[in-house]
């Protein structure tokens, strides 16, 4: 049976993350080896030459799954009939730019893009926002696509933070990342995020079917429970939250391949399911864990292939609640700023 191609629209396709994404999507890493894709590249006129260059290189790869590559600088064309949208292109913070200016500049991008998705995307469209400030940009896009596209089709990327957290824990415990499950990133994709290991588990190589609490394994390795908590508070949480800055300092440029990889894993798991425990994604809150309804907040999530659902019923201690509340307060302030612009209700 011949499968109809899935139309995947990537905004900011001429940028760094766009360049890292296109080839992996065309190779089948995101949707699987039996799903042909049609790529739509949306850029602003200044980014169009770079996108055209990427399109030439895609042709030179002769990917068997790549049905077509189409370029546009018009959101209404780029999102027409699209099944999956990765919103990567955003306005970066310029020198002297206040947060309100940054939010306003991005509202001018994500508002019209959301409206175009509402007007012309396929009925099954799902959208992930990568461009920063990702959570609030997703809020703006979802509000602008309503009522044509349900809000639960929109999410924002915190999978990179999740993967960074797993990487740090794997190093500290001297295990492979695959041994660690059920880590959570709560809150905003920003320095206020809360990387949480309270419910995380570790699979021991000598007992593959058995899972032990990760916190207990950390305490064993670091010389006690107090030492483990101190390491989490003083080393782990700040390192994960500041990892983007560390990459810029060492590499001289922001995270690119790891960000593209995270976006691919986010979409892959949303569409194919999460069989090995939960992952993290920022989704529209329905009031879970006291997070005000409508905010796009990172939670522990699972998918059965039909979209991310928040894992409910986990206990957070006082420390955890304080950290989540601080990040949610930042999300509320961002939402209130865009409310003032009249972009969301
Ligand atoms: P680049 O500056 O390399 O690329 C951005 C591209 O977007 C440019 O080619 C630009 O022309 C294009 N663009 C700007 N406005 C557009 C519009 N209205 N429509 C279509 N295209 C538009 O940035 P890059 O390194 O690719 O990063 C992209 C975004 O990802 C940034 O906002 C960045 O902050 C964000 N990130 C988000 C991460 C996350 O985990 N959520 C991690 C990585 C990254 O920092």
| CATH number for 189 | 3.90.110.10
Q: Are residues 107 and 205 in the same domain?
A: no
CATH number, position 129 = 3.40.50.720
Structural domain includes residue 320: yes
Q: Which of 156, 191, 213 is the last residue of a domain?
A: 156
- Which residues have a Cβ under 8 Å from the Cβ of 10 and sit 6 or more positions away? 18, 21, 22, 25, 39, 40, 41, 42, 85, 86, 88
Contact 128, 155 (CB under 8 A): yes
Which residue from 13, 14, 15, 50 has its CB within 8 A of the most atoms of ligand 1, so it is best to mutate?
15
Ligand 1 centroid–CA 201 distance in Å is 34
Angle between helices 214-222 and 159-173 (to 10 degrees): 40
The number of folded domains in the chain is 2
pLDDT tens by residue, the chain, 345 residues: 678 999 999 999 999 999 999 999 999 999 999 999 999 999 999 999 999 999 999 999 999 999 999 999 999 999 999 999 999 999 988 888 888 889 999 999 999 999 999 999 999 999 999 999 999 999 999 999 999 999 999 999 999 999 999 999 999 999 999 999 999 999 999 999 999 999 999 987 777 778 899 999 999 999 999 999 999 999 999 999 999 999 999 999 999 999 999 999 999 999 999 988 999 999 999 999 999 999 999 999 999 999 999 999 999 999 999 999 999 999 999 999 999 888 887
Q: Are residues 180 and 126 in the same domain?
A: no
Looking at the structure, tell me whether residues 152 and 204 fall in a common domain: no
pLDDT at 298: 98
Q: What's the rounded Cα separation, in Å, for the pair 254 and 70?
A: 27
**Do 181 and 322 share a domain, yes or no?**
yes
The burial class, CB within 10 Å (0-12 / 13-18 / 19+), for 181 is middle
- Identify whether 344 is part of a domain: no
Q: Which of 84, 83, 132, 77 is nearest to 109 (CA)?
A: 132
Where do runs of H (alpha helix) occur along 63-212? Answer: 75-78, 99-120, 134-145, 159-173
Ligand 1 center–CA 146 separation, angstroms:
24
Q: Which residues line ligand 1 (CB under 6 A)?
A: 11-12, 14-18, 42-44, 46-47, 88-90, 92, 109, 130-132, 134, 157, 160, 189, 244, 254-256, 259
**271 part of a folded domain:** yes
CA distance 126 to 195: 26
- Any idea which residues carry the catalytic annotation? 189
Whether residue 237 sits in one domain with residue 180: yes
The verdict on residue 345 lying in a domain is no
> Based on the domain organization, do 103 and 227 belong to the same domain?
no
In a domain, 126, yes or no: yes
Whether residue 231 lies inside any domain: the answer is yes
Q: Which of 140, 156, 172 is the last residue of a domain?
A: 156
pLDDT at 209: 78
- Half-sphere exposure of residue 171: CA atoms within 13 angstroms, side-chain side: 9
Same domain flag for 193 and 148: no
pTM of the model: 0.97
Q: Parallel, antiparallel, or unpaired for β 37-42 and 66-72?
A: parallel
Whole domain around residue 92: which residue ranges? 6-156
Domain check: are 85 and 217 in the same one?
no
279 vs 158: CA distance, rounded Å = 9
Ligand 1 centroid, distance to 182 Cα (angstroms): 29
Q: Is residue 343 part of a domain?
A: no
How far apart CA 246 and CA 244 sit, in angstroms, is 5
Domain boundary among 156, 188, 219: 156
Q: Are residues 191 and 119 in the same domain?
A: no
Residue 341 lies in a domain: no
Ligand 1 atom 12, closest CA: 12
Tell me if 164 sits within 8 A of 243, measured CB to CB: yes
φ/ψ of 286, rounded to 5, equals -110, 25
Measured distance CA(209)–CA(205) in Å, rounded:
9
Instruction: Say whether both 304 and 164 belong to one domain.
Output: yes
* Same domain as 164, residue 280: yes
Q: Do residue 233 and residue 209 come from a single domain?
A: yes
Number of H helices, E strands in the chain: 12, 14
Q: Can you give the pLDDT at residue 1?
A: 63
The pLDDT score that the predictor gives to residue 160 is: 98
Q: How far is the CA of 200 from the centre of ligand 1 (A)?
A: 31
User: How far from 306 is each of 39, 246, 272, 298, CA to CA, in Å?
Assistant: 22, 35, 8, 18
SS3 content of the chain, % helix, strand, coil (to 5): 50, 20, 35
Q: Which of 130, 190, 260, 297 to mutate to test the pocket of ligand 1 (most atoms within 8 A of CB)?
A: 130
Please give the Cα distance from 273 to 263 (Å, whole number): 15
3 state DSSP class of 153: helix
């Amino acid at each position: 049976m011949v499968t109809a191609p899935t139309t995947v629209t990537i905004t900011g396709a001429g940028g760094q993350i766009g360049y890292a994404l296109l080839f992996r999507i065309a190779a089948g890493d995101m949707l699987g080896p039996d799903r042909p894709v049609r790529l739509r590249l949306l850029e602003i006129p200044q980014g169009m030459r770079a996108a055209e260059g990427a399109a030439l290189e895609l042709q030179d790869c002769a990917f068997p799954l790549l049905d077509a590559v189409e370029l546009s600088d018009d959101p209404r064309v780029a999102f027409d009939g699209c099944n999956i949208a990765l919103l990567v292109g955003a306005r970066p913070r310029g020198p002297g730019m206040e947060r309100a200016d940054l939010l306003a500049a991005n509202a001018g991008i994500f508002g019209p893009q959301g409206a175009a998705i509402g007007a012309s995307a396929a009925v099954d469209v799902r959208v992930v926002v990568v461009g920063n400030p990702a959570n609030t940009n997703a809020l703006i896009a979802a509000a602008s696509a309503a009522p044509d596209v349900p809000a639960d089709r929109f999410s924002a990327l915190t999978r990179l933070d999740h993967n960074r957290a797993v990487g740090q824990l794997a190093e500290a415990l001297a295990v492979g990342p695959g041994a660690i499950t059920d880590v959570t990133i709560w809150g905003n994709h920003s320095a206020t995020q809360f990387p949480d290991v309270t419910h995380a588990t570790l699979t021991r190589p000598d007992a593959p079917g058995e899972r032990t609490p990760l916190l207990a394994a950390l305490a064993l390795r670091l010389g006690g429970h107090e030492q483990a908590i101190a390491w989490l508070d003083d080393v782990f949480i700040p390192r994960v939250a500041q990892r983007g800055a560390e990459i810029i300092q060492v590499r001289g440029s922001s995270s690119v391949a790891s960000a593209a990889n995270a976006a691919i894993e986010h979409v892959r798991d949303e569409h194919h399911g999460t069989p090995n425990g939960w992952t993290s994604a920022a989704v529209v809150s329905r009031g879970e864990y006291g997070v005000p309804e409508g905010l796009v907040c990172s939670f522990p999530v699972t998918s059965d292939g039909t979209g991310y659902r928040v894992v409910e019923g986990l206990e957070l201690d006082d420390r955890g609640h304080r950290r989540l509340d601080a990040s949610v307060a930042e999300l509320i302030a961002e939402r209130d700023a865009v409310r003032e612009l009249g972009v969301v209700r």
